[in-house]
Amino acid sequence: MPDKLNLKNSFKLYEEALELIPGAILGIRRPYNFVEGEYPIFFHTAKGGKVIDVDGNEYMDHLCAYGPIIIGHREEEIDNAVMDQIQNHGFCMSLTQPVQNELGKVLRELIPCAEKMVFMKMGSDATTAAIRVARAYTRREKILKTLTYAGWHDWSSDVYGIDAGIPDKIRNDTIEFEFNNLPHLETTLKQHKDQIAAVFIAPIHTPGGNEVELPEPGYLRSVKQLAHEYGAICIFDEIRTGFRINMGGAQKEFGVIPDLACFGKAMGNGYPISTLVGKAEIMDVLEHNVFLSSTFFPNSLSQIASLKTINFMQKNDVINTIKNRGSVLEKKIQESIDSSGVPAVYSGGASMPYITFRRDEQKLYKTLREEFYRQLIRRKVFLQPYHHGYICYRHTKEDLEYTATMIDESLNETKRLM
């Protein structure tokens, strides 16, 4: 069994941060979301598909910053384009720069529902803008959504059961329905007839701490049909799937075109950018009826980065490369799970690998989960117990072979606790 990692500097910085930042670090990056005492808390640098922490430990990075890194860290072609913009043109101005239109035309060619679009910074910006647009267009207030993270704003942020500071009225206007359960969706729509503004759904279900779930055949099409039948619009949350499952998003992959869709994460390879795209008739409420503005939304650096990211992905067939390499990794992980006899489950397909453990009444799964991820981090593979992973273009075949071997070793070590 590998020794515990030297994380002295991480722990020192964490203690310092506790005096400066509530909880030291925001949200899902806090130590209790990993294996406390085993995982680094601060990273120092990253390149390609690897990251190095503040103690000098190098890891195979399979969280990829929770999804934005689709190509690799510190991609020169992208970074050089951004630096050229800084040095020769500037990026923060009182008026918008022409790159807005360039990027808009590219998205319209790629994304089926993208007749018009607006650019923002974070996924939460895009999802919340989608809800405001839906309410303005339908003149209704209630939202149906699946139980998965869709941002930190009031309309959606009690997904983890933390709802302090959110007024009851706002919280009660968001109603959950079960993924891949059409009868439940239809029943919920009937219960709130003439009140539902939108059915909001991530086309690939990624509930925290649970298996990644693909839509059953015909499911997404039926969701859209039911939404329209009850006078609601259909919104796809493509923050995770966009530019990762397909260049046109999951809507292109599965052949179902929503009314609105939210994109972010991978579209900028780490630069902060998101977009709400959709049918012109619906998006046009933003022209006069809906207010959406920010000092930094028109900032051109992320738009430049997004253009270069998309161009690089098209030139280098990034998504198919990831899928092909990821399929090999998926096969090897499944073989390791089967041979180990550990009650683990692989989900997420070739693009979003995730290893969870079957729940049992004795709660042994919690012990097995913690031990597996302890073993894995000591072998320098960076994954998260409560969140699916990712594969980026710069993860080579050799990198993924290493990952598969370390997962196999970690499963066999974990088996000793059964």
How does DSSP assign 224-246, residue by residue? Answer: HHHHHHTT-EEEEEETTTBTTTB
| 293 & 149 share domain | yes
CATH of the domain at 56: 3.90.1150.10
pTM comes to 0.96
Judge if 270 and 405 occupy the same domain: no
pLDDT in tens, 232-256: 999 999 999 999 999 999 999 999 9
Q: Is residue 376 part of a domain?
A: yes
Q: Check whether residue 48 and residue 170 sit in a common domain.
A: no
Q: How far is CA 410 from the centre of its chain?
A: 26
Using one digit for the tens of pLDDT, what is the confidence trace for 13-62? 999 999 999 999 998 899 999 999 999 999 999 999 999 999 999 999 99
| pLDDT value, residue 159 | 64
Q: Return phi, psi of residue 393, to 5°.
A: -60, -35
Residue 29 falls inside a structural domain: no
- For residue 96, give the nearest of 122, 78, 119, 114 by alpha carbon: 119
Q: Which is it for strands 58-61 and 50-53: parallel, antiparallel or unpaired? A: antiparallel
Same domain assignment for residues 103 and 167 = yes
Residues 358 and 304 in one domain: no
Same domain, 97 and 66: no
Looking at residue 291, which CATH number applies to its domain?
3.40.640.10
Residue 378's φ and ψ, nearest 5 degrees, are: -65, -20
Q: Which domain holds residue 326?
A: 43-73+318-417
- Boundary-marking domain end, from 298, 315, 332: 315
Shared domain for 103 and 55, answered yes or no, is no
- Of the listed ranges 123-137, 151-165, 313-327, the least confidently predicted one is 151-165
pLDDT digits 0-9 by tens, 142-175: 999 998 888 888 888 666 677 888 888 888 899 9
Domain shared by 168 and 308, yes or no: yes
Which of 257, 269, 286, 240 has the alpha carbon at shortest distance from 119?
286
Residues 279 and 340 in one domain: no
Structure tokens at 7: 């994380």
pLDDT value at residue 165:
86
Q: How many domains does one find in the chain? A: 2
